[in-house]
Structure 1
């Protein structure tokens, strides 16, 4: 199964983890940079009413659901895809690919603590990944020019961004034409276990966010 579905103005690719991995690995052979996004309910809701951002995200090379709630909202019922999304199989397969092939990556986070935990996670489970650099990206204090220069100077293969929406999307939209990198992978703040901090990423916060999301879906269906 490989199709694009619309969820609150964002086109999401509905495909298996292996299909997504095959596409992503294929991007390694092409320039300029390819953009891959793992979109979560949190990320979609935080984009709010930003039609410009949503329009650009729809142009990304691959947009996957990072949360099975997104697929359920689009009436996707195929058990394999739902389960793989829940278990983050694509991300695990891609990190394994980076590990086995000793690819060079650059990490983007929002705090030193998140960065350290992300780095430790990769070192523990995917030690073959070469982390060339790690940087904090702040909505209040952007230094995109310096960061782009640092990444281009590192001869990296992939950028992995664990940022909030729409900061994550805005960063790559504004800088993709300047980056000499094969792949930008945006995973958001709630995809990796090491990033599960704060109210919105806790069980109660997730319950509230998903409840609001489901109400928005119902509203869109009634229009």
Structure 2
């Protein structure tokens, strides 16, 4: 086991992308469902105020550090996380594993039509993957404040009827995490990952930040430049840095 680091109450797995890939392989060989969450700095800050979100994140089977701020915080407090492990990068590794082992996958999320485009692109790029099905994220369910709604039940039934090994859930955080936690016991699969905009990127409707931004851990800046309205959300980043630097409490342990 690689162990965990607790950052503002959220337990983050201390591992590399390669380690995470190996964990996924072990999950796919298990007989139980395994949940993967991909919190970044923004979500950790939200979980600091939201005990329900914090607790459900900590119930995850794999929690990766999808935020360069989390890595910097761990280094400042000398509890070093090996590297940033993004939800998108791990999702790509999952697709490679699925292609190699001929696993099946179901996609949930995005606007109507997006998941279907993503599935078409997966079929072209990964011909050995069994694309079991897809559904857009615009249905009434836990993620939209309608827990147990008949539309949510229908989506769950669609997923289970296709018997996928892997489910991608892309509602954006924290909606996807809350949906997964509420419904994981009802789903028949081995791995379920909340991976934000991955479905949109796979569909080609959203582009990932240029590689230079990725290498520098500045994807948040690229997204902010593309959409200045994100400033209201990303104002928590400097606040997080101040808490880590000046808090007398042990914020990283």
Global fold match (TM > 0.5) = yes
One of 174, 180, 192 as aligned partner of 1:172: 180
Residues 107 and 135 in structure 2, CA contact (< 8 A), matched pair in contact too: yes
Q: Which runs of 5+ in 2 are unaligned?
A: 139-143, 208-219
Q: In the TM superposition, what are the counterparts of 1:78-93 in structure 2 within 5 Å? A: 81-82=82-83, 85=85, 89-93=89-93
1:189 and 2:197 are equivalent in the alignment: yes
Q: Compute the displacement of 1:92 (Å).
A: 2.6
Would you say how many aligned residue pairs link Structure 1 and Structure 2? 220
1:214 and 2:238 are equivalent in the alignment: yes
Would you tell me which structure has more strand in proportion to its own residues? 1
Q: Which runs of 5+ in 1 are unaligned?
A: none
Residue equivalent to 1:11: 11
Q: Compute the displacement of 1:66 (Å).
A: 2.1
Residues 73 and 214 in structure 1, CA contact (< 8 A), matched pair in contact too: no
Counterpart CA distance in 2 for 1:28 and 1:86 is: 20
In structure 2, the CA distance between the partners of 1:191 and 1:118, relative to structure 1 (3 Å rule), is closer
Q: Deviations over 1:37-80 (max 9, x none)?
A: 22233544565732112101101100002232322232278999
Let me know the Cα RMSD of the aligned residues: 3.3
In structure 2, the CA distance between the partners of 1:105 and 1:14, relative to structure 1 (3 Å rule), is same
Counterpart CA distance in 2 for 1:128 and 1:173 is: 29
Q: Compute the displacement of 1:31 (Å).
A: 2.9
Q: Over alpha carbons, which structure has the higher Rg?
A: 2
